[in-house]
Structure 1
Amino acid sequence: MMSTTSTRAPQTQARTTQQRPPAQRPGASLARAQSDAAVRGTFHLPEQVEDALRKAQERCHLVAPATTASALPAGCSVAISPVFVDVATETYGIPGSGDDGGGKRGLGKSVLDRIFAAVGGSWDPQQTRRIDDGSDPYFVHYQAVGHVRNFDGSVRVVKGEKIVDVREGSPAIQDLVSVSLAKLRKFAEHKNKSESELRRVARERAENQVRGIRLHILGHAESKAKNRAIRSLGIRTSYTVEELQKPFAAARPMFTGHSDDPELRRMFAQRIADTFLGTTTALYGAPAALPPGSPPPPVGMARRDALDDGFDEDAIDTHVVDDAPSRATSRAPQDERADETDDAGEPAGSSMILPFGRAKGTTIGTADDEDLEWVANALARMVEDPQKSRFRDDNQRLLDAIDRELARRRGEEEPPEDAPPSDDDYPT
């Protein structure tokens, strides 16, 4: 047991130090409390609104229909809500932007959803939908249309679209093969392989990624289309860690019925009651029928679009789903493939697909060390979570494969299979 513990501990320690984004600076909690006190509240008078918006602009990242509001419609107020960002769990690194504190971070989907809700945004159920005809399961053109109210009471439309084309022969698949081939050429163990052999291995790895994308293709398209629509409110695609110490201040107009006129207050109260009781549908009837979708264009003729923005997270469950397609890449139980290798000379399990995180849809063998550390840390928590016991075996199998790959890259030897388990292998 002692030998197993000493072998496992360095992996856990290395994972912790490499995986986590830069820690927040000292005093961040105090800065949060001060910003929170300065920008939270509902403001009725125009001069109060102007002052609150000015403070929000100075101390926060303001997300609002406008940066000033010299007048408000009768019965309306402006509510400002702070949205805090947990850098460690709700953001991800932007490739090529640098490491540590100087690196750029992208906002995760959960943060964007909270900001959209805080500004009073809502999705149009008639127009937020798949706009192709659905005749090809590997082609999705998704449109997200939302509504945000301006300070003068008018409605602002925000829109985002996303095309995911993973049909055989599409440019997206060709790009995946090119990326896999470029990564293979960087590995020393592949330098002696022929070009045809490298292309064959790259094709196999790209097919594994495409399989994962096809499994949740509609979720990919919907999530990315909505994220693009939300960012059209003026949210940048990346921020530094220092910038994310400040919260986002979301401002939206609210119909509160506030007025000094008793007659107006009575009328406003009646209108608010009508809204809550759902009289709109009774008066105006059901919405119009949806227009028919369009068929997908020929392969290679779809509008070129990045397969993955790299600036959002997908709305897919963050655990290994218990279905046959997701387990197809793990060809044998862990104890039967611990010492096996695949056709490319990689340890068995390196072709398993990462089901979540920034590198979602890529294989263990092609993912970067930082991405593997992040996924491994998350899987370790899931294995110990009793609420996810249903997925424990799958999560453990994937975690072990990642540990083997990281150990191989560090040049470390794996513990013998017959070594007894350590206390660190089980939740306390």
Structure 2
Amino acid sequence: MENNSNAIAEIQKKYAGCNLLMPAATEVQLNPFYKITVMEVTADLSENSGDIFKVGSVKTGTTQQGKDIWEETYSPAKPLLMKIAAAAGIQFDPDHTYGTKIDANTYKAKAYGAMRMPDGTGKTHADEKVICLDDEEANYRVEFMDKSIKGITDEKAAKAAAEMFKGNWIDAKNKWGKACKAYVIDDCDREKYIERSVLVNMTLLRKTAAAKAMTGAILRVIRALTGMKGQYTKKELQKPFAIPRVTFSPDYTDPEVRKAMLSQGMNSIGSLFGAAPTIAAIPDALTGRERDEFNPEEFADNPAFASDEAMVEENAGGEQNWFDETPQQNSESEANEQTGYICDECGAQISDKVYSYSINKFGKPLCVRCQRGAH
């Protein structure tokens, strides 16, 4: 059995100057009928790749001085999830994957996906995503109110807010528990900061609400079918995602496989048109008679089974053609009979049979001798 391997390292080396869009694959023929294919998808961990986004930090241990060790965690974004879906062979049913607008401010999307498991069985999953603009606006308002009072901990956002709104810097901790500088908005500009922040985010959300709902439903299905975690460390993401699949792939170079496929094809024809019924012989035990071992060919020359009619035909030497001249005795008896039919050529008297045949054949009465001359 042939083992075709396209290792990810070999492909990256060969196509170093290309942007690889398809995942690498390793194929192994398990047996003459099935092969296993392992698809490999590597995440791009660069800052602006879009494959991942930061979601937080997890505690990974403690130093000797008793300080906690934190490691940043990331979640797969849409580009990476779509590549994994393509490698896993996930298919979405277009009849059950759609979005609807419930009312002026609510969008709902449903997604129905399916994939083939390594054991050959199918797995399906359905999920949905609902976006209500009223709820999102309320969430934005609460979020920016908290930021204006407790302080903006994100460094880039804090510096941008400090250039536009009055406030002061304080010592604080970000959402991951790390010490940082936060910018607190003054009371005089707090309402302006909140309203402008909500307006900017809601304007963008109103344009993309339907697409976000559909994307959210599809990505939920992909995560559920592949069993992916919600977040990974960078060390975990450095390893490629491997998706095994088992497919029916007969090895037609194997004579046993060709024989089995031919047999299956013949059985399929029989199932389609029906096989010829076989009539089983009645067992001797049911008839109550002993089995007769008589072979007629062995007694072909035995006079005990000779037929009188067969012996007469054998001695006669076959049938006599009525065209042949009859014996003298028959000729004399026919001459004595007055049939009334005379040959047109020689004037000889002819019988009824000869007359009928001559009329049908030559159109005039002829005797046997004249008929031979007429050919």
Superposition TM-score tier, normalisation by shorter sequence: 0.3 to 0.5
Normalising by the residue count of structure 1, what TM-score does the alignment of the two structures yield?
Answer: 0.42
Task: Find the structure with the greater CA-based Rg.
Answer: 2
Q: Name the structure, 1 or 2, with higher relative contact order (CA <8 Å, separation 6+).
A: 1
